[in-house]
Structure 1
Amino acid sequence: MRLKPILTALLAAAALALPAAAQDCVGQNLFERMTPERRAELDAAAEGVPYRHGLFWRAEKGDRRVTLLGTYHFADPRHDLTMRHFGPEIDAAALLLVEAGPEEEARLAEAMTSDPSLLVDPEGPTLPERLTEAEWKSLAAALEARGLPAVIASRLRPWYVAVMLGVSPCMMRVIEEKGDPGGLDHLLVGRAEAAGVPVRALEPWDTVFTLFEGMTPKEEEDMIRAAMPAAQYADDYAVTLADTYFAGDSWKIWEFGRFDGYDHSGLTRAEIDGQMRLAQEKLMDQRNESWIEPIEQAAAEAAGQGKAVVVGFGALHLPGEHGVLRLLENRGWTISPITVEGKGDGG
């Protein structure tokens, strides 16, 4: 298996947990295909989510100051505006916090090389045995398009299969050609390294391998089923995600995934809702909770130097009752939006 795209997919799984796009991939924004009635239903589902609108925020508590940047993990020329605005803040910061820094990415790559069982189940039932014949046929074709032969794919762990389905074939090719996903996270790290600003990870390097522990076989199989519809038009889904991110409304794509599952997965609404709750808990809520202490500790250390901290992580970690912003607010931090002209600003 090709290491670089797989590594990138894993890092994406530990981030937005949604399909990835690249500036070289072309597709249609799927919101344009929705009926007005469906759009209204989706908007109603997203309405009222705390801190739903906005990518960039300031958190302050006494003399502690934190700049929070919701990131998009893949290349796009629209990142240039973000870097022009926040580059000087990174230069002056005491520390940059990200989900996974260079050291964590290196350890992840080393582990994947030395221990194939992290991604492949050598003993349990194969995916063709766990899925229906039609499901396996569609899945095998989707994974073949992403460079994973069926003979290998048949023994992949279900959570990893669901991750790979979220990366469009076009994106896989771009990563291979360019050698780097080029997302905002990497741009932030590059700027910090150039300025001599320390970079620290918010979580351990092996987090991605622990996210899906404890799932039942049925939950694992439904995770694949829920991911299959978007895999059939991954480039369109990816463009939709990117456009929605840069409009500053990432939660909208989360709800899009729910309604897409309702319409195309073959699962019941209750089953899709269960999958969405499980994904939110494992990919976002639990991790958000674990990030608060490192953020607060870094801010306190920085305040002692008369400096601030910059934190970058996937934009879907910002909103919601269990989002990072609400969690900080509940601990006495004052949250305010940062407006960047031409970008989806906070609000």
Structure 2
Amino acid sequence: MIRVLAAALSALTMSLAPGLAAAQSCGTEDLIAGLDAAQKARLDALVAEHPFAEGTLFRASKDGSDVVVVGTIHLPDPRLQPLVDALEAEVRAADLLILEASAEDEAGLATLAATKPEMFFLTEGPTLIDMLTEAEWSEVTDRLSAIGVPGFMAAKFQPWYLSMTLAVPPCAMTLLQQGQVGLDRQLEIIATDAQVQVATLDDAEALLKLFSDEPMDAQLDGLRVTLETQADGNASTSTLIEAYFDGRVREAWEFGRIQIEDAGVENGAEMFEEVNQSLLVGRNQSWEPLIVDMVDGKNAVIAVGAAHLSGESGVLRSLERAGYDIAPF
């Protein structure tokens, strides 16, 4: 979902505030395992609605075209190495690697921040210190201190940008600072080395505008949701990562829905569904004609966030509609 953007923007944050916390592991805690029977039944019912709810690695076949589809996480983890090893030959033999965004796209965010600072920062008027309650700002500064970002600097962040900064927990932020990368970026490095064409599905600036064009009140509501649901960012991240390595990709997404609905945030369910429609369903729908055209008659590897694989709008169903046979890799 937004982890690729959050990971990319963390690099921008780190360039502004280089003194980050000491390295630590995100651990293996899985909050889903702690759900009671009623909560788990509710989660299972949400997951059951979606095709391809489990699995991260598939092969799509059609006359003249062989496509490997892998769901990615955009944050580093040493357990990704066997998957990288399994996919290296596929990437090197492919005509095309398709990603949400490339390293060049991510690097362009720094340029965008310089040329259009109003998308990232509060360039006039009150700061977040004035917009949030004293208790909320205290929580923000406590969370920022763990990643070495000074409160006086973050006070000028647009609320959506601060939410993104807080979405990357200390354990992952330090790994990113060390130069470690997620699965998508590791596959891109292989493709570049093998001189395989890399194509992307998203327009980074257009994606950012989904956040920066939101009214200020809506951005502040989103920030408050982040504070409510990411109190232990390391545990939230390790929950997503554990679900990923178990292949429970839709479960991880729908668990986020339950977290927000149960956080006591006003209109939390509606807010999650807006995100679901704009960042998942909407993007999947815009990707479908691009992907079908890109892979036609080619051998390709598609590496996109794991949440994009499942569902009626998901990448796998899109390929099925285009006549591809889908099977586990």
Which of 246, 271, 278 in structure 2 is aligned with 1:275? 271
Letter in 1 for 2:308: H
In structure 1, the partner of 2:257 is: 258
Q: 1:213 deviation in Å?
A: 5.0
Letter in 2 for 1:337: A
Q: What SS is found at the alignment partner of 2:190?
A: helix
In structure 2, the partner of 1:293 is: 289
Whether the 8 Å CA contact 1:159–1:224 is kept in 2: the answer is yes
Q: 1:320 deviation in Å?
A: 1.5
Cα distance in 1, alignment partners of residues 276 and 64 from structure 2: 33
In structure 1, the partner of 2:174 is: 173
1:1-347 aligned at under 5 Å gives the runs 7-9=8-10, 24-26=25-27, 28-176=29-177, 178-180=178-180, 182-212=181-211, 214-264=213-263, 266-268=264-266, 271-300=267-296, 303=297, 307-330=298-321, 332-339=322-329
Q: What SS is found at the alignment partner of 2:144?
A: helix
**Alpha-carbon distance change, 322 to 255 in structure 1, aligned in 2, over 3 angstroms:** same
Cα distance in 2, alignment partners of residues 132 and 212 from structure 1: 22
Letter in 2 for 1:179: G
Cα distance in 1, alignment partners of residues 194 and 9 from structure 2: 25
Percent sequence identity over aligned pairs: 33
Q: What SS is found at the alignment partner of 2:78?
A: coil
1:115-144 residue CA offsets vs partner (Å, 9 max, x unmatched):
433311212442233333322222232223
Unpaired segments of 5 or more residues in structure 1? 12-21, 340-347
Whether the 8 Å CA contact 2:184–2:304 is kept in 1: the answer is yes
Whether the 8 Å CA contact 2:316–2:326 is kept in 1: the answer is no
Letter in 2 for 1:244: A
Whether the 8 Å CA contact 2:76–2:175 is kept in 1: the answer is no
Cα distance in 2, alignment partners of residues 327 and 80 from structure 1: 28
Q: 1:8 deviation in Å?
A: 4.7
Q: 1:214 deviation in Å?
A: 4.5
Cα distance in 2, alignment partners of residues 65 and 241 from structure 1: 29
1:127-182 residue CA offsets vs partner (Å, 9 max, x unmatched):
23333332222223222323222222222112112212211122222222x123x2
Unpaired segments of 5 or more residues in structure 2? 1-5, 13-22
Task: Count matched residues.
Answer: 315
Letter in 2 for 1:167: V
1:16-57 residue CA offsets vs partner (Å, 9 max, x unmatched):
xxxxxx983235221232222222222222222121111122
Cα distance in 1, alignment partners of residues 88 and 118 from structure 2: 40
Whether the 8 Å CA contact 1:61–1:334 is kept in 2: the answer is yes
Cα distance in 2, alignment partners of residues 279 and 316 from structure 1: 13
1:57-92 residue CA offsets vs partner (Å, 9 max, x unmatched):
223344233221110112222222212222111111
Cα distance in 1, alignment partners of residues 241 and 167 from structure 2: 13
Whether the 8 Å CA contact 1:7–1:109 is kept in 2: the answer is no
Q: What SS is found at the alignment partner of 2:211?
A: coil
Whether the 8 Å CA contact 1:97–1:312 is kept in 2: the answer is yes
Letter in 2 for 1:290: S
Letter in 2 for 1:141: D
Whether the 8 Å CA contact 1:54–1:337 is kept in 2: the answer is no
Q: What SS is found at the alignment partner of 1:179?
A: coil
In structure 1, the partner of 2:18 is: none
In structure 2, the partner of 1:342 is: none
Whether the 8 Å CA contact 1:142–1:231 is kept in 2: the answer is no
Q: What SS is found at the alignment partner of 2:302?
A: strand
Q: Greater shift after overlay, 184-193 or 100-109?
A: 100-109
Letter in 1 for 2:168: V
**TM, length-normalised to structure 1:** 0.82
Q: What SS is found at the alignment partner of 2:122?
A: coil
Whether the 8 Å CA contact 2:9–2:164 is kept in 1: the answer is no
Cα distance in 1, alignment partners of residues 24 and 91 from structure 2: 25
Letter in 2 for 1:245: Y
Q: What SS is found at the alignment partner of 1:211?
A: helix
Letter in 2 for 1:228: L
Cα distance in 2, alignment partners of residues 314 and 281 from structure 1: 16
Letter in 1 for 2:261: Y
Q: Greater shift after overlay, 308-317 or 208-217?
A: 208-217
